[in-house]
Amino acid sequence: MLDLIAVFPLVALFAGEDFPYAIIISFLVSFTTINTTYQLSRRFSTNGGYYSYAGRILGKVPGLFVALSYLAYSIIVLLAITSFAGYFIFESMLDFGISSARTIPFILSAVFVITVFAIVHLGLKKSLKFTLIAGTAEAAFIIVISFLMFLYPYDGSAVIFYPGNLNGNFLTGVIFGILAFSGSGSSIFLSENSKNPKKTPADGLALAFLISGLIMIISSFAVVAFIGNYLTLYVNNPAALLADIQQKYGIIFLVPAILFLVLSAMNLSVSYLNALLKSVKKMFMDNVLYYGKGTGKKGAASVLLVTVITLILVLSVLYGPYNAFVYMSSLAGLFFISVHAFANVALVKTKGRVITTKFFPLVSLIFLAAVFTVSVWSFASEFPVIIYMYIVVMILISAYGFVTFTHKEYNRDIEFHVG
DSSP assignment of 81-140: HHHHHHHHHHHHHHHTT----TTHHHHHHHHHHHHHHHHHHT-HHHHHHHHHHHHHHHHH
pLDDT of 395: 96
Residues 175, 181 contacting (CB under 8 angstroms): no
pLDDT of 267: 87
pLDDT of 334: 93
pLDDT of 297: 46
Catalogue all structural domains in the chain, each as residue range(s) with its CATH number: 2-413 (1.20.1740.10)
Task: Give pLDDT < 70 ranges for the chain.
Answer: 95-96, 99-100, 102, 156-168, 187, 192, 290-298
pLDDT of 159: 57
pLDDT of 293: 47
Distance CA 203, CA 201 (A): 6
pLDDT of 214: 92
